[in-house]
């Protein structure tokens, strides 16, 4: 059997400091739509530089390899999850496979039509209506008008946007946009379906609908590539996992083993001093110097207790007005449990004009059940991301009592405890 996708020594090089070409005009989009079917006649391509960007005068350039010698194959009917931390090269890989971006070197072979759903804004022209974009996308895929018309009602029904079909998509909400984009990508009978994390924009009901559709596409003998940070979804949907790390293929195995490798890599990264972490992103002007957990005013600890006070300490290189510190607590399989954000203030929060560089997020009664967790932390200032570190630290939570109740572990499901009271309204006592 010939593979649906073959990636051979694929690399993508960028020079940081170059100015990328911006958003295309309607005329350019139509021109691309006309020439795209001709480009897709080739089964693969090899490129040694595209000349797509131009150098910004006065800006120091820096070489960056988003992908480096990546090779793998995907068979028809196989659902493969692409796993990796931010900056690992996942989105770059999908853009090359979707022929949005050209590779610097290497070769890809795609057998059949490719339906892709990447970030919001890719694939549709904002000035065209939903109806017009459906027909334009079908034409780009090489379908005849008759074929698109035959699938039109199915697309509209799946997307649930019938009342807005003749509205320009620039007026769509992000949820409406994603529903239509996925409906087009999945229902125009592609032999290869490529889906990025963008599905997280939709509501839970639509996400379940999309998962079912991807399983249906695979059962019909078509290949699916899927990127998600939700490891539980990947394990449920995918047969295999390809793990990318700093642009290189780090692991390729059945999905459960691939997820295990990914989680181990996050754990390993958390042991590295924050000043040495190369996988962070943001401007870097404001950065985390140290992050740790502690109990009360004591020393840093790696183990906290359920139902007891816990402090999360963040030390920055400097402080500015309107700074926002945010962190997400994940379980050891990558599931996001909760998010804590300094921007969402309450009367209990303390703010002073001459604050130092250390910030404490205090939890009076830690509601997490016994287990191992990690933190993803970020700093923003005036809505600009300055620092983002996935797996900044790991910590353990020991079993204990929560609001006077002993919580058995691991015999009961769930991650968090909720303060509650049992009542018996009809009791005589």
Helix (H) / strand (E) element for 231: namely: helix 231-237
Pair of tokens at residue 280: 């962070």
Q: What is the dihedral of CA 143, 217, 86, 263, to 10 degrees?
A: -170
Q: Spell out where 47-172 has E strands.
A: 54-55, 62-74, 79-83, 105-110, 114-117
Instruction: Determine the average pLDDT of the residues in 122-134.
Output: 86
Please state the domain extents for the chain.
5-267, 279-345+353-406
Q: The domain at 279-345+353-406 falls in which architecture?
A: Distorted Sandwich (2.70)
Confidence of residue 122 (pLDDT cuts 50, 70, 90): low
Q: Confidence class of residue 46 from pLDDT cuts 50, 70 and 90?
A: very low
Residue of 47 and 64 predicted with greater confidence: 64
Please, which contacts does 34-42 make with residues 24 or more away whose CB atoms are closer than 8 Å? 36/140, 36/142, 37/139, 37/140, 37/142, 39/99, 40/99, 40/142
Quick one: which of 243, 270, 256, 247 has its CA closest to 373? Answer: 270
| pTM greater than the 0.85 cutoff | no
- Which residues, including other chains, have CB under 8 Å from residue 334's CB and lie 6 or more apart? 229, 230, 231, 232, 259, 262, 263, 266
pLDDT band at 292 (very low <50, low <70, confident <90, very high): very high
Answer for the pair 49, 85: CB distance below 8 angstroms, yes or no: no
pLDDT of residue 18: 53
pLDDT in tens, 176-191: 888 888 888 888 788 9
Q: What is the pLDDT of residue 411?
A: 63
Please say if the pLDDT value at position 63 is more than 60: yes
Judged against a pLDDT cut of 50, whether residue 22 lies above it is answered with no
- Both structure tokens of 408: 């058995």
The CATH number corresponding to 5-267 among 3.10.50.40, 3.40.50.300, 3.40.50.2020, 3.80.10.10 equals 3.40.50.300
User: Are both 5-267 and 279-345+353-406 of the same fold?
Assistant: no
């Amino acid at each position: 059997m010939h593979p649906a996708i073959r990636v051979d020594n694929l690399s993508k090089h960028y020079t940081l400091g170059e100015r990328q070409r911006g958003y295309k005009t309607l005329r350019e989009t139509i021109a691309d739509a006309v020439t795209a079917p001709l480009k897709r006649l080739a089964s693969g391509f090899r490129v040694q530089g595209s000349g797509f960007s131009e150098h910004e005068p006065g800006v120091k350039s820096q070489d960056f390899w988003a992908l480096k010698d990546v090779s793998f194959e995907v068979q028809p009917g196989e659902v493969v999850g692409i796993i990796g931390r931010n900056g690992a090269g996942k989105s770059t890989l999908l853009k090359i496979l979707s022929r949005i971006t050209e590779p610097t070197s290497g070769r890809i072979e795609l057998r059949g039509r490719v339906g892709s759903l990447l970030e919001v804004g890719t694939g549709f022209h904002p000035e065209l209506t939903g109806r017009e974009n459906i027909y334009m996308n079908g034409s780009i895929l090489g379908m005849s008008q008759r074929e698109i018309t035959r699938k039109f009602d199915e697309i509209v029904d799946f997307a649930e946007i019938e009342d807005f079909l003749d509205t320009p998509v620039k007026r769509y909400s992000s949820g409406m946009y994603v529903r239509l984009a996925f409906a087009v990508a999945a229902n125009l009978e592609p032999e290869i379906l490529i889906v990025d994390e963008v599905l997280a924009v939709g509501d839970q009901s639509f996400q379940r609908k999309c998962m079912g559709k991807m399983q249906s596409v695979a059962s019909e003998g078509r290949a699916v590539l899927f990127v998600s940070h939700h490891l539980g979804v990947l394990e449920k949907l995918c047969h295999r996992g390809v793990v990318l790390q700093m642009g290189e293929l780090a692991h390729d195995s059945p999905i459960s083993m691939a997820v295990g490798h990914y989680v181990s890599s996050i754990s390993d990264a958390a042991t590295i001093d924050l000043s040495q972490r190369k996988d962070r992103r943001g401007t870097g002007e404001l950065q985390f110097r140290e992050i740790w957990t502690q109990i009360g005013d004591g020393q840093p600890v790696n183990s906290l207790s359920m139902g007891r006070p816990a402090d999360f300490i963040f030390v920055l290189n400097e402080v500015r007005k309107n700074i926002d510190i945010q962190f997400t607590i994940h379980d050891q399989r990558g599931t996001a449990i909760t998010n804590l954000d300094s921007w969402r203030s309450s009367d209990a929060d303390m703010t002073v004009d001459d604050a130092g560089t250390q910030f404490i997020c205090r939890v009076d009664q830690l509601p997490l059940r016994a287990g191992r967790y990690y933190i993803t932390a970020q700093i923003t200032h005036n809505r600009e991301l300055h620092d983002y570190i996935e797996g900044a630290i790991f910590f353990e939570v020991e079993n204990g009592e929560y609001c006077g109740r002993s919580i058995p572990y691991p015999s009961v499901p769930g991650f968090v405890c909720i303060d509650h009271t049992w009542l018996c309204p009809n009791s005589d006592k």
